[in-house]
């Protein structure tokens, strides 16, 4: 076998590529040729390594030395100093608070993370199935279909307490059990990769960095519920993830890990991709089903639930990317292992995309129940340029804000709703005092008004009216009655909308009204925007 | 229908089949080849896949991704996802529109440029971000650097 | 890419593939430290490195990592090599490519220290 003394892992996630990662990689390839090192140094293009803001990034093994903010000009120095002389190029190391860090593991960014879902992201070549197999990939599937009954599989997932990572937190094992009990010749597994919340890119990172973990999770789900066919519904805006998935599916089929008679058993399962076409509502599971059937992505009435009658009227399990990426680890290491992390009711970990006004923005994974303060200040390194933390927003257009006085809130499925926020899919946007909370609410409402599919009246008309009121307030024409009206209208929309989009659309308004009412009042009574964001055109 | 457009559609229909569930995928592939979805193409797809034109129109107009008219030569998409928004994405959008003297979604008179918004491209670590022609992503923008990038295409 | 036909085949493939990933793993059987040349015009250490790589390839041994090491001071003369194996670090100084090959075969692969050439030893 060919071995290389140095593995240079270059991040080839969307963000590092956007920051010029390809230019660096090309320069590195050229320098290796020039120095005759192509037989000694292997360049591996990986998925996202996490601290996206410091990209393009590279990690050099065996020592794991991490270089940040690389440009093509840096390639020569790295080859001559590090690869040939064994001397790290210190000017390219991670620097924070006047300290520099040689490896990722030494950084405060990494110290408080636990990587289950992202176990292989940034460590393996996602376009090579053998690297995934080396890390134990597909062994859980193999064990399921050779040593376990579907009931055994469901039991482990139920015991683990795994909850849907798309946002709602429905117990995955229970969903599988309900689908398993349905009597039908055909059942389907759908992986929901329509990651729509603005500011959220966890799922894309998993698909780009470790696509096989999702395929394996889907196949295990298929075995557990008795489905032979799976679809991945993915945003068309994620071309790199689509490409890596296509490669992964092809390699898994060629290796006999997808398709007919997997590993010589009589279990068959195959996966196809379905591209979305830019409609936020398609993240809602019944709308997603309609879209997968080639129709307008309008939601359906529930019940019947998809596990009873979903895709093409057949029992269908819809799981989120991150949920599925957890499955093989739970099978491999057991429910108790999984329960070591997180809380009793929210076991395991959660991936977040930590972005906005934070020093180190990026993709992270922490045990559920980790305090927000730890995430923002220890992992994210706090707020830049002397600004102060004002609020964090979770759950995108369905979610709410967490104000500074609740910085110690454990981030899990129980505590967040008590503040009027939700766990959501994992977008975590940090805001400082320069953000106006009324404007933030307006921002999300605009989004919902654009993305409301128009099928039901409360969502279509109600959100539009709420937006009108917010525009009134942000231009200085609001009245105190408007605030009550916003709350009343918001609650009606929540209770009467057809699908999850409408039922959660008022959350950004209701939660900012709850935690930042004084800011609304300042807009209404004093006709000023405390953060100096809103135009307040009507001000005299 | 102009004959040169048929092969692109036929290729997609061969790939995906004529089942109704393939409609969105066929539309995707066709738009990728042609740049947009002209009426004559939709009529052709309707006939081939045995779906009514009105249904296809309903699908095409439901999704943001599909376009019924020819696009500008360069499409600049500014991200207005939450991270870009809190880091000043709107100022980028306004600067670009002012420079080109158009409103968002309008095409310049010479047909060369348009500026659109997108809800998130997932490059939040580099917010605020814009994408040129669907592939070149530029991040950590200020209104000035955004204009500089735009002017390279002018 | 061939079809994997059983769980045992999958496990065999896993083991083989793991060998390829050794450079990235925490635990390996042997860590080989090799000095680097101080001046641009000497290639003594580089030649040792190339001999080591060649010998490892020849013997189809993959459970190793190679780490380049800066000069150690006067008692360990370059070119040198240090092997970390079985919780012991053994230094061999002033070596030639041929000596390096011998050290790889005997010490790195078989675990037998070439005591005649040892200049220093230490516990981990």
Do A63 and B135 meet the contact criterion of CB atoms below 8 Å apart?
no
Whose tokens are 């972005």? That residue is: A355
- For residue C36, the chain A residues in CB contact (below 8 A) are 84-87
Would C16 be classed as within a structural domain? no
Would you state the structure tokens that stand for residue A17, as one six-digit string?
Answer: 């590529």
Find the angle CA(A173)-CA(A178)-CA(A184) to the nearest 5 degrees. Answer: 130
Using 50, 70 and 90 to split pLDDT, how confident is the model at C72?
A: confident
Do A440 and A431 meet the contact criterion of CB atoms below 8 Å apart?
yes
Give the SS3 label for residue C91.
Answer: strand
Which of A1, A6, A123 is facing C19, going by the closest CB pair?
A1
Q: Does the pLDDT value for residue A264 go beyond 80?
A: yes
Longest dimension (CA), chain B: 51
Provide the pairing of β-strand A270-275 with A229-234: parallel
Q: Are residues A198 and A255 in the same domain?
A: yes
> Per-residue pLDDT averaged across C65-75, rounded?
84
Q: Are residues A191 and A142 in the same domain?
A: yes
Tell me how far apart the alpha carbons of residues B149 and B138 are, in angstroms, rounded to a whole number. 8
A263 touches chain C (CB under 8 A): yes
Pick the CATH number of B74-152 from 3.40.50.300, 3.40.50.620, 1.10.1660.10, 3.40.30.10: 3.40.30.10
Do C104 and C59 meet the contact criterion of CB atoms below 8 Å apart?
yes
Give the SS3 label for residue A533.
Answer: coil
- For residue A200, the chain B residues in CB contact (below 8 A) are 120, 122
Strand A316-320: give its sheet, edge to edge. Answer: A270-275, A229-234, A188-193, A316-320
Q: Are residues A236 and A308 in the same domain?
A: yes
How many domains does chain C fold into? 1
Find the angle CA(A468)-CA(B98)-CA(B145) to the nearest 5 degrees. Answer: 110
Would you state the structure tokens that stand for residue C7, as one six-digit string?
Answer: 């769980």
Instruction: Please state which of the ranges A88-97, A323-332, A501-510, B117-126 shows the lowest mean pLDDT.
Output: B117-126
Q: Are residues A316 and A179 in the same domain?
A: yes
Q: Are residues A103 and A143 in the same domain?
A: no
Tell me how far apart the alpha carbons of residues A467 and A449 are, in angstroms, rounded to a whole number. 8
How many domains does chain A fold into? 4
Q: Which residue of A has its CA nearest to B62?
A: A296
Using 50, 70 and 90 to split pLDDT, how confident is the model at B1?
A: low
Tell me how far apart the alpha carbons of residues A357 and A361 are, in angstroms, rounded to a whole number. 8
Instruction: Tell me the CA distances in angstroms from A394 to A397, A454, B30, B56, C36, one per residue in order.
Output: 9, 25, 37, 36, 51
Give the SS3 label for residue A202.
Answer: helix
> Per-residue pLDDT averaged across A130-144, rounded?
98
Do A483 and A524 meet the contact criterion of CB atoms below 8 Å apart?
yes
Instruction: Tell me the CA distances in angstroms from A536 to A236, A477, B91, C100, C117, one per residue in order.
Output: 38, 8, 17, 78, 83
- For residue A435, the chain B residues in CB contact (below 8 A) are 86
- For residue C48, the chain A residues in CB contact (below 8 A) are none
Q: Residue ranges of the domains in chain B?
A: 3-62, 74-152
The residue ranking higher by pLDDT, C37 or A347, is A347
Tell me how far apart the alpha carbons of residues A16 and A29 are, in angstroms, rounded to a whole number. 17
Mean pLDDT over all residues of chain A? 96
Q: Where are the alpha helices (DSSP H) in A58-210?
A: 74-77, 84-85, 108-111, 129-134, 139-147, 150-160, 172-181, 202-209
Nearest to A309 by CA among A164, A187, A173: A187
Which residues are paired to B75 by β-bridges?
A: B114
pLDDT (0 to 100) of residue C75: 77
Going by the DSSP 8-state scheme, the letter that residue A3 receives in this structure is -
Tell me how far apart the alpha carbons of residues C29 and C20 are, in angstroms, rounded to a whole number. 14
The residue ranking higher by pLDDT, C122 or A76, is A76
Q: Which residue of A has its CA nearest to B80?
A: A198
Provide the pairing of β-strand A349-356 with A427-432: parallel
The answer to whether A3 contacts C23, with C-beta atoms less than 8 Å apart, is: yes
C53 touches chain A (CB under 8 A): yes
- For residue B19, the chain A residues in CB contact (below 8 A) are 294
- List pLDDT tens digits, range A211-260: 999 999 999 999 999 999 999 999 998 999 999 999 999 999 999 999 99
Q: Does the pLDDT value for residue B140 go beyond 80?
A: yes
Q: Does the pLDDT value for residue C95 go beyond 70?
A: yes
Whose tokens are 């927003």? That residue is: A393
Tell me how far apart the alpha carbons of residues A72 and A56 are, in angstroms, rounded to a whole number. 10
Q: Does the pLDDT value for residue C51 go beyond 60?
A: yes
pLDDT (0 to 100) of residue A283: 94
- Phi, psi (rounded to 5 degrees) for A528: -130, 150
> Per-residue pLDDT averaged across A184-193, rounded?
98
Using 50, 70 and 90 to split pLDDT, how confident is the model at B20?
A: very high
Q: Are residues A391 and A456 in the same domain?
A: no
Would A392 be classed as within a structural domain? yes
Q: Are residues A149 and A253 in the same domain?
A: yes
Give the SS3 label for residue A423.
Answer: coil
User: Which domain, by its residues, includes C101?
Assistant: 27-123
Mean pLDDT over all residues of chain B? 93
Which of B23, B63, B122 is facing A14, going by the closest CB pair?
B122
Tell me how far apart the alpha carbons of residues A57 and A11 are, in angstroms, rounded to a whole number. 6
Q: Does the pLDDT value for residue A464 go beyond 90?
A: yes
> Per-residue pLDDT averaged across A308-322, rounded?
98
Instruction: Tell me the CA distances in angstroms from A29 to A23, A33, A72, A73, B12, one per residue in order.
Output: 10, 6, 10, 12, 37
Q: In sequence order, which residues have a C-beta less than 8 Å from that of residue A298 and are 6 or more positions away?
A: A281, A287, A290, A453, A455, B62
Would you state the structure tokens that stand for residue B18, as one six-digit string?
Answer: 């004529």
Provide the pairing of β-strand A389-394 with A349-356: unpaired
User: Which domain, by its residues, includes A456?
Assistant: 437-526
Would A533 be classed as within a structural domain? no
Give the SS3 label for residue C64.
Answer: strand
> Per-residue pLDDT averaged across C106-116, rounded?
96
pLDDT (0 to 100) of residue C14: 97
A134 touches chain C (CB under 8 A): yes
Handedness of CA A275, A280, A286, A291 (dihedral sign): negative
Tell me how far apart the alpha carbons of residues B146 and B144 are, in angstroms, rounded to a whole number. 5
Q: Where are the alpha helices (DSSP H) in A120-184?
A: 129-134, 139-147, 150-160, 172-181
Q: What is the CATH number of the domain that holds C64?
A: 3.40.30.10
Q: Does the pLDDT value for residue C71 go beyond 80?
A: no
Q: Which among C7, C30, C34, C72 is the top mutation candidate for probing chain A, defined by the most A β-carbons within 10 Å of its own β-carbon?
A: C7
Chains C and B touch (3+ CB pairs under 8 A): no
Radius of gyration, CA atoms only, chain C: 17
The answer to whether B86 contacts A196, with C-beta atoms less than 8 Å apart, is: no
Q: Are residues A403 and A425 in the same domain?
A: yes
Going by the DSSP 8-state scheme, the letter that residue C77 receives in this structure is P
Q: Are residues A425 and A470 in the same domain?
A: no
Q: Does the pLDDT value for residue A523 go beyond 90?
A: yes
Whose tokens are 């597909």? That residue is: A138
The residue ranking higher by pLDDT, A540 or A441, is A441
Tell me how far apart the alpha carbons of residues A205 and A182 are, in angstroms, rounded to a whole number. 33
- For residue A14, the chain B residues in CB contact (below 8 A) are 121-123, 137
Q: Does the pLDDT value for residue C122 go beyond 80?
A: yes
Would you state the structure tokens that stand for residue A307, as one six-digit string?
Answer: 């596990």
- Phi, psi (rounded to 5 degrees) for B113: -130, 150
Q: What is the CATH number of the domain that holds A54?
A: 3.40.30.10
Q: What is the CATH number of the domain that holds A378?
A: 3.10.20.600
- Phi, psi (rounded to 5 degrees) for A363: -90, 125
Q: What DSSP string describes A266-329?
A: S--BEEEEEE--S-GGGGSHHHHHHHHTTS------SSSPTTTS-GGGS-EEEEEHHHHHHHHH
- List pLDDT tens digits, range B83-131: 999 999 999 999 999 999 999 999 999 999 999 998 888 899 999 999 9
Using 50, 70 and 90 to split pLDDT, how confident is the model at B2?
A: low
- Phi, psi (rounded to 5 degrees) for C59: -85, 0
Among A397, A432, A467, give the residue marking a domain's end: A432
End-to-end CA distance of chain B: 34
Tell me how far apart the alpha carbons of residues A268 and A250 are, in angstroms, rounded to a whole number. 15
Using 50, 70 and 90 to split pLDDT, how confident is the model at B42?
A: very high
Q: Are residues A173 and A104 in the same domain?
A: no
> Per-residue pLDDT averaged across A429-449, rounded?
96
Using 50, 70 and 90 to split pLDDT, how confident is the model at A203?
A: very high
pLDDT (0 to 100) of residue A501: 95
The answer to whether A1 contacts C70, with C-beta atoms less than 8 Å apart, is: no
Nearest to A140 by CA among A215, A68, A216, A230: A216
Tell me how far apart the alpha carbons of residues A106 and A305 are, in angstroms, rounded to a whole number. 47
Give the SS3 label for residue A24.
Answer: helix
Would you state the structure tokens that stand for residue A243, as one six-digit string?
Answer: 């490409």
Q: Which residue of A has its CA nearest to B123?
A: A15
Would you state the structure tokens that stand for residue A467, as one six-digit string?
Answer: 């937006």
Tell me how far apart the alpha carbons of residues A338 and A140 are, in angstroms, rounded to a whole number. 15
Do B82 and B44 meet the contact criterion of CB atoms below 8 Å apart?
no
Q: Does the pLDDT value for residue A539 go beyond 60?
A: no
Using 50, 70 and 90 to split pLDDT, how confident is the model at A21?
A: confident
User: Which 3-state string (H, E, C) describes A446-483?
Assistant: HHHHHHCCCCCHHHHHHHHHHHHHHHHHHCCCCCHHHH
Smallest CA–CA distance, residue B6 to chain A, in Å, is 21
A414: left (phi over 0), alpha (psi -120 to 50) or beta: alpha
> Per-residue pLDDT averaged across A508-529, rounded?
97
- For residue A204, the chain B residues in CB contact (below 8 A) are 122
């Amino acid at each position: 076998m060919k071995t290389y003394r140095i593995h240079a892992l270059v991040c080839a996630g969307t963000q590092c590529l956007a920051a010029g990662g390809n230019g660096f990689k090309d320069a590195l390839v050229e320098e290796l040729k020039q120095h005759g090192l192509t037989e000694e140094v292997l360049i591996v293009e990986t998925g996202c390594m996490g601290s996206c803001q410091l990209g393009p990034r590279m990690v050099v093994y065996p020592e794991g030395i991490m270089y940040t903010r690389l440009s093509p000009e840096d390639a020569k120095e790295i080859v001559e100093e590090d690869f040939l002389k064994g001397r790290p190029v210190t000017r390219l190391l991670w620097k924070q608070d006047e300290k520099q860090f040689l490896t990722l593991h030494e950084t405060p960014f990494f110290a408080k993370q636990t990587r289950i879902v992202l176990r292989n992201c940034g460590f393996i070549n996602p376009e090579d199935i053998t690297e995934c197999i080396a890390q134990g990939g597909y062994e859980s599937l193999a064990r399921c279909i050779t040593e376990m009954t579907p009931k055994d599989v469901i039991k482990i997932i139920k015991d683990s307490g795994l909850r849907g990572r798309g946002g709602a937190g429905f117990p995955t094992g229970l969903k599988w059990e309900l689908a398993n009990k349905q009597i039908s010749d055909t059942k389907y597994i759908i992986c929901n990769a329509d990651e729509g919340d603005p500011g959220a890119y966890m799922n894309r990172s998993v698909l780009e960095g470790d696509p096989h973990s999702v395929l394996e999770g889907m196949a295990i789900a298929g075995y557990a519920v008795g489905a032979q066919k799976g679809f991945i519904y993915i945003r068309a805006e994620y071309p790199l993830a689509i490409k890596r998935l296509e490669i992964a599916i092809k390699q898994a089929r060629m290796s006999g890990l997808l398709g007919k008679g997997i590993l010589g058993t009589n279990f068959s399962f195959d996966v196809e991709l379905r591209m979305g076409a830019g409609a936020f509502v398609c993240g809602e599971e019944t709308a997603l089903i309609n879209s997968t059937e080639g129709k307008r992505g309008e939601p359906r009435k529930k019940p019947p639930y998809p596990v009873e009658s979903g895709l093409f009227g057949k029992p269908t399990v819809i799981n989120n990317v991150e949920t599925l990426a957890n499955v093989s680890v739970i099978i491999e290491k057991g429910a108790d292992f999984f329960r070591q992390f997180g809380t009793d009711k929210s076991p395991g970990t959660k991936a977040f995309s930590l972005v906005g006004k934070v020093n180190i923005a990026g993709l992270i994974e922490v045990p559920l129940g980790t305090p927000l303060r730890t995430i923002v200040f220890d992992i994210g390194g706090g707020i830049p340029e002397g600004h102060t933390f004002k609020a964090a927003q979770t759950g995108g257009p369905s979610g709410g804000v967490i104000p500074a006085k609740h910085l110690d809130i454990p981030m899990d499925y129980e505590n967040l709703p008590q503040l009027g926020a939700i766990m959501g899919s994992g977008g975590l946007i940090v805001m400082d005092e320069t953000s106006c909370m009324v404007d933030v609410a307006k921002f999300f409402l605009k989004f919902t008004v654009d993305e409301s599919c128009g099928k039901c009246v409360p969502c279509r008309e109600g959100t539009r009216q709420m937006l009108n009121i917010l525009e009134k307030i942000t231009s200085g024409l609001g009245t105190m009655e408007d605030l009550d009206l916003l709350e009343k209208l918001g609650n009606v929309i929540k209770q009467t909308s057809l699908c999850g989009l409408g039922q959660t659309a008022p959350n950004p308004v209701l939660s900012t009204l709850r935690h930042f009412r004084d800011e609304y009042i300042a807009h209404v009574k004093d006709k000023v925007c405390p953060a100096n964001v809103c135009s307040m055109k009507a001000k005299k | 229908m102009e004959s040169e457009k048929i092969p692109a559609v036929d290729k997609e229909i061969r790939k995906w089949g004529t089942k109704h569930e393939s409609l969105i995928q066929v539309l995707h592939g066709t738009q990728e080849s042609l740049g947009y979805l002209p009426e004559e193409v939709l009529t052709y797809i309707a006939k081939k896949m045995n779906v009514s034109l009105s249904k296809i129109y309903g699908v095409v107009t439901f999704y943001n991704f599909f376009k019924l008219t020819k696009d500008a030569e360069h499409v600049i998409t500014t991200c207005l996802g939450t991270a870009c928004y809190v880091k000043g994405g709107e100022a980028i959008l306004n600067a670009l529109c002012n420079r080109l003297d158009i409103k968002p979604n309008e095409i310049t008179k010479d047909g060369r440029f348009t500026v659109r918004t997108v809800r998130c491209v997932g490059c939040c670590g580099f917010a605020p971000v814009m994408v040129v022609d669907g592939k070149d992503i530029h991040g950590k923008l200020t209104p000035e650097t955004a204009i500089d990038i735009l002017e390279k295409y002018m | 890419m061939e079809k994997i036909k059983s769980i045992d085949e999958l496990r065999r493939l896993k083991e083989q593939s793991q060998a390829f990933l050794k450079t990235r793993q925490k635990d390996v059987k042997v860590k080989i430290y090799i000095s680097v040349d101080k001046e641009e015009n000497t290639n003594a250490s580089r030649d040792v490195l190339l001999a080591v790589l060649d010998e490892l390839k020849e013997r189809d041994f993959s459970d190793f990592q190679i780490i380049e090491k800066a000069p150690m001071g006067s008692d360990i003369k370059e070119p040198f090599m240090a092997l970390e194996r079985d919780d012991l670090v053994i230094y061999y100084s002033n070596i030639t490519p041929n000596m390096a090959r011998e050290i790889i075969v005997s010490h790195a692969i078989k675990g037998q220290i070439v005591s005649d050439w040892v200049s220093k030893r230490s516990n981990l």
